Amino acid sequence: MKKLFFISLFFISFILKAQNSENANFDISSETIKTKPLNIDELNKIDYSNILMQNQDALIGYIGENYQRFYIRFISIIKDKQTTNEYYVYGKSRVKNIICDFQGKIKITSAYEFDKTEWEMHYHEAFIDDNYLTIDNTEYVYGVVLAEYFLIEDDKQANSGIFHGFLKSYYYSENENFYFNDLNMRFDDNYCNNQFCGVWKSFSNGITKTCNWGICRIPNAKDLDIGAGEFSPSEKYYNSDWNSYYKAYFESDSAAIKQETTKWWE
The number of residues in the chain equals 266
Going by the DSSP 8-state scheme, the letter that residue 217 receives in this structure is: S
Which of 13-22, 31-40, 59-68, 127-136 tops mean pLDDT?
Answer: 59-68
**Residue 97: predicted pLDDT:** 94
- Alpha-carbon span 140 to 72, nearest angstrom: 31
Cβ neighbors of 33 (< 8 A, separation 6 or more) are 114, 115, 118, 119, 122
**Residue 250: predicted pLDDT:** 95
* Residue-wise DSSP of 41-75: HHHHH---HHHHTTTGGGEEEEETTTTEEEEEEEE
Longest Cα separation, the chain: 57
- Alpha-carbon span 214 to 196, nearest angstrom: 6
Helix (H, G, I), strand (E, B) or coil at 36: strand
Note the pLDDT tens digit of each residue in 200-230.
999 999 999 999 999 999 999 999 999 988 9
Q: Which residues pair with 199 in a beta bridge?
A: 164, 210
> Does the structure show a pLDDT above 50 at 241?
yes
**Residue 1: predicted pLDDT:** 37
The pLDDT confidence band at residue 19, using thresholds 50, 70 and 90, is: very low
* SS3 per-residue string spanning 134-167: CHHHCCCEEEEEEEEEEEEECCCCCCCEEEEEEE
Q: Under a CB-based contact definition with an 8 Å cutoff, are residues 160 and 103 in contact?
A: no
**Residue 46: predicted pLDDT:** 86
**Residue 176: predicted pLDDT:** 77
